[in-house]
């Protein structure tokens, strides 16, 4: 059964779950069988929105990118899971034999490779992974438009674009009659709030863009597993979390606030952090990854956690 909490993604016809399942761990910290178990649990719980990228997980020795897409494609091939499922992927960061950038050849070749790995005929939501200032926006958007007209992509979107570049891209599409971005993927969490600032929020509202935010748990910092003065958990991300957040008094104070709210609401810290993102003005969905079905069950609990004014005031920081 589809989840009754589904939200429309901007002006598109796509109805997406408020918790988008991040696929960045698939083939990295989550092996094939574990990934399948997480995907099964997500689908059984009514989830329908999966986010990945052609570059996942190219940062690992011996990987070339596409590992996450391949696992998702193998899972999709196991059974009749496609109906109602929305798979988003990205191009531009480089993977396999597709170099980084958003030139026409990179976009077209990247799409063909992603379609092959996912085992689908059309990508539901195709993101420009990051802005490419070295390539004219006209070239990038013409390539995306070609894919939409060919039926290989349903909708296009932008990730990691500044307000100025997003506005410019929307103008280029309007001027040339190209397919236009229907969604934005910025960074947003309790600690990192500049990635989806008032400028971007206003543009998304004006142009009716859906917003699916990444790093909603700050690489695991906002799960409550990390505490100042305590050993960091065994995790591939532990070093980055320690250097980025544990030494930041403001980040630690927000973690403490989330811990207090969690205790008061009989929730987990991760649920509070995700509920805050999901409730943020303009946000359609929060992307979070899980390495086990049990962890995913905890994250899904955020969807039904309604933070009140007292909670939100305490989390404002």
Residues with catalytic roles? 56
CA-based nearest residue to 195, from 216, 225, 210: 216
Q: By the 8 A CB rule, do 160 and 130 touch?
A: yes
123: left (phi over 0), alpha (psi -120 to 50) or beta: beta
Are 9 and 183 a contacting pair, CB within 8 Å? Answer: yes
For the record, the structure tokens of 6 come out as: 């589904």
Alpha helices in the chain (DSSP H): 32-44, 67-76, 104-118, 137-149, 163-176, 198-206, 238-241, 249-265, 269-278, 293-300, 309-316
DSSP 135-191: S-HHHHHHHHHHHHHTTSEEEEEEES--HHHHHHHHHHHHHHT---EEEEE-B--SS
């Amino acid at each position: 059964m589809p989840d009754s909490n589904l939200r429309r993604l901007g002006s598109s016809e796509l109805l997406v779950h408020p918790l988008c399942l991040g696929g960045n761990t698939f083939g990295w910290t989550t092996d094939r069988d574990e990934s399948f178990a997480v995907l099964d649990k997500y689908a059984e719980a009514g989830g329908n929105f999966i986010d990945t990228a052609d570059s996942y997980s190219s940062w690992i020795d011996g990987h070339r990118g596409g590992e996450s897409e391949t696992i998702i494609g193998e899972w999709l091939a196991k059974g009749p899971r496609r109906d109602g499922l929305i798979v988003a992927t990205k191009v531009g960061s480089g993977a396999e034999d597709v170099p980084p950038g958003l030139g026409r050849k990179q976009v077209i070749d990247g799409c063909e490779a992603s379609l092959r790995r996912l085992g689908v005929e059309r990508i539901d939501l195709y993101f420009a992974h990051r802005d490419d200032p070295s390539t004219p926006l006209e070239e990038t958007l013409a390539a995306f438009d070609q894919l939409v007209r060919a039926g290989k992509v349903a909708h296009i979107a932008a990730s990691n674009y500044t307000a100025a570049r997003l506005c410019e891209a929307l103008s280029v599409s309007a001027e040339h009659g190209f397919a236009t971005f229907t969604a934005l993927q910025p960074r947003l969490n309790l600690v990192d709030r500049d990635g989806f600032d008032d400028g971007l929020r206003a543009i998304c509202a004006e142009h009716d863009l859906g917003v699916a935010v990444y790093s909603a748990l700050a690489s695991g910092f906002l799960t409550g597993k990390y505490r100042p003065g305590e050993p960091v958990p065994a995790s591939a991300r532990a070093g980055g979390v320690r250097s980025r957040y544990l030494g930041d008094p403001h980040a630690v104070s927000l973690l403490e606030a989330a811990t207090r709210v969690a205790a008061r609401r009989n929730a987990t810290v991760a649920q509070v952090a995700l509920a805050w993102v999901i409730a943020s003005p303009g946000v359609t969905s929060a992307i979070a990854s899980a390495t086990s079905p049990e962890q995913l069950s905890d994250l899904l609990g955020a969807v039904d956690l309604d933070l009140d004014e007292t909670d939100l005031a305490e989390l404002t920081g």
